[in-house]
Amino acid sequence: MTEAVEKLVKKSEDPSRWYLQLVRMAKLADYGPVRGTFAIRPYGFEIWERVQRDLDDRFKATGHRNAYFPLLIPESYLKKEAEHVEGFDPELAWVTIGGREELEERLAIRPTSESIICDFYRNWIQSYRDLPILINQWCNVLRWEKVTRPFLRTSEFLWQEGHTVHATAQEAREETLRMLGVYRDCFYEAMAIPVLTGAKSPSERFAGAVETYTCEGLMGDGRALQAATSHDLGQNFARAFDITFLDENQDRVHPYQTSWGFSTRTIGGLILVHGDDRGLRLPPRIAPTQAVIVPIWRGKNKGEVRREAEALYTELKDSGIRMEVDLDEEHSPGWKFNEHELRGVPVRVELGPRDIEKGQAVLVRRDTGEKEFVGRKELAEKLEGLMGEIQENMLRQAETFREENTRRAESYEEFKEIIARERGFVVAPWDGTEETEQKIKEDTRATIRLLPFEREEGKDLVSGRPGRTAIFARAY
RNA sequence: CGGGACGUAGCGCAGCCUGGUAGCGCGCCUCGUUCGGGACGAGGAGGUCGGAGGUUCAAAUCCUCUCGUCCCGACCA
């Protein structure tokens, strides 16, 4: 390897620096002038578009429709739900001047849209016949963050927020869990990230929610990432915003609401879960380019190789694979190999004079590095099959990693040692009190990531009191 | 928001201590030779030294403030 390749620090040596370098070298994002603002560059945005499309299809399939709500939220709206303001107050950015006039009431740039959406919903909902309301919004939000990193924590970020309204508590709860499942499927099937799902502890709940459910992924450095959340809001917001409807019995009652969100943070998760020392690795389902053809030519046969590469490109593209052909004449094949590996392209197709002679091409998998010679006629079919295989293998690799890094702690000593030494997920009983949760956090910096749905009883490692199993980790 | 480090060409850095005409590597542009794991030669372009104020005949260099970045902690998708 040459020194240029070694410019990317090893993931295992300095994960933090590796991440920042990779984001810039792979042209995913670039820093903005204001703290926490970033430009998502075309390659990064294409990944987001793929994820977005996958999720959006799933939302539509479960009966949701998209809409758009205002960016600016009057202060008085935010204040209506007490817990909600308190939760977001430290992170708000305010608009106080419009044109040249000082505003009578300052306007918050949305950190999330519950409050302003509820204000609309109050007017839109009169009767049980208006329910359920199943609306999703794709937008940007702003939270004044102190410590930021591209994708993982940015002041402004892109996301999707679903806001639904239901006649009964039961329906709202079902919706909350349904959307958690939708996220889970997207992570597993599209992003090849094996997330764990479960409920949050009360202290980690969304401000204003009755219950928060989460998808938690385990990153390559053993830290957990909250990747998407789904909230059962109960009647909290309906009461605060005075949303009511007449039910079948002619009684005026408050409806039940949910909200759920998934953000560009997941791109950070994708990088951390799948990336390696050579750079990014993208699952085929969301890779903007699924296979790249690198022609290898010599002076005398350049024209021929070039023509063959172009023909192969057209042929494979027509068979439905997202192809790219790298006809750049300034760089050597070796340079291109490294470049496309850095970008995480799932398969490289090498085509040189020897291959043309033999009527074949060389396929190299990004996930395993395996090299294979394939006859020209079988190429399209082979590639198509490879996409599925790579997708599956990447999920399997991530799953294996997660399993190897999920440990049961039998004593508090052991718990502390695991967090200090290996990190990863630690499974241990919790007595349900905030005191023990807080103590563990102070001692180890690990927090409860989730309470699994499968209830398991046990004795709390700190207090000795009876409790249920929780999953702990140090989080991003 | 605390503790530490750092802002000099697109990227990585030297110069600062001891003030005196801004440098190196990579990248970029042109031409030629190359091309199966980051090719080579020759020419060339590019910086109000993060910003503001101060000290000085003179500031990248000294002082003050400010903005930003990174690492380690407290809060969050």
> A148-176, pLDDT tens digit by residue?
999 999 999 999 999 999 999 999 999 99
Q: Compute the distance between CA of residue A168 and CA of residue A132 in angstroms, rounded to an integer.
A: 10
pLDDT, chain A, mean: 94
DSSP 8-state class, residue A187: I
Average pLDDT over residues A123-132: 98
Query: For chain A, what are the domain ranges?
Result: 2-274, 291-385, 406-473
Average pLDDT over residues A306-315: 96
Asked whether residue A147's C-beta has any atom of DNA/RNA strand B within 7 A, the reply is yes
Spatial distance from the CA of A10 to the C1' of B43 (Å): 37
Asked whether residue A339's C-beta has any atom of DNA/RNA strand B within 7 A, the reply is yes
Q: Strand B: which residues 202-261 of A lie within 7 A (CB)?
A: 206, 226-229, 261
Asked whether residue A161's C-beta has any atom of DNA/RNA strand B within 7 A, the reply is no
Give me the phi and psi of A233, to 5 degrees please: -90, -5
Nearest nucleotide to A329 by CA–C1' distance?
B35
Residue A117 reports pLDDT greater than 80: yes
Spatial distance from the CA of A21 to the C1' of B10 (Å): 15
CA of residue A319 relative to chain centroid, distance: 30
| Residue with CA nearest to B69's C1' atom | A35
Q: Which of A59-63, A82-86, A287-291, A470-474 has the lowest mean pLDDT?
A: A82-86
Asked whether residue A264's C-beta has any atom of DNA/RNA strand B within 7 A, the reply is yes
- Percent of chain A at pLDDT > 90 equals 84
Asked whether residue A87's C-beta has any atom of DNA/RNA strand B within 7 A, the reply is yes
- The CATH superfamily label for domain A2-274 reads Bira Bifunctional Protein; Domain 2 (3.30.930.10)
The pLDDT, as a whole number, for residue A86 is 86
Say which CATH class A406-473 falls into.
alpha beta
Nearest nucleotide to A226 by CA–C1' distance?
B77
> Which has the closest alpha carbon to A402: A218, A224, A276?
A218
CA of residue A197 relative to chain centroid, distance: 14
Q: Compute the distance between CA of residue A353 and CA of residue A452 in angstroms, rounded to an integer.
A: 56
> Which has the closest alpha carbon to A378: A395, A393, A361, A394?
A361
Instruction: Give Cβ neighbours of residue A104 (< 8 Å, ≥ 6 apart).
Output: none
Nearest nucleotide to A265 by CA–C1' distance?
B77
Instruction: Give Cβ neighbours of residue A392 (< 8 Å, ≥ 6 apart).
Output: none
Asked whether residue A158's C-beta has any atom of DNA/RNA strand B within 7 A, the reply is no
Nearest nucleotide to A268 by CA–C1' distance?
B77
Asked if A353 and A296 count as a contact pair (C-beta separation under 8 A), the reply is: yes
| Angular region, A417: left φ>0, alpha ψ -120 to 50, beta rest | alpha
Asked whether residue A445's C-beta has any atom of DNA/RNA strand B within 7 A, the reply is yes
Q: Compute the distance between CA of residue A279 and CA of residue A282 in angstroms, rounded to an integer.
A: 10
Which nucleotides of chain B does any protein CB come within 7 A of?
1, 26-29, 33-39, 67-77
Asked whether residue A358's C-beta has any atom of DNA/RNA strand B within 7 A, the reply is no
CATH number for the region A291-385 comes to 3.40.50.800
pTM (two decimals) = 0.96
List the structure tokens of A358.
Answer: 């033999």
- Numbers of helices and strands, H then E, in chain A: 14, 24
Spatial distance from the CA of A338 to the C1' of B39 (Å): 15
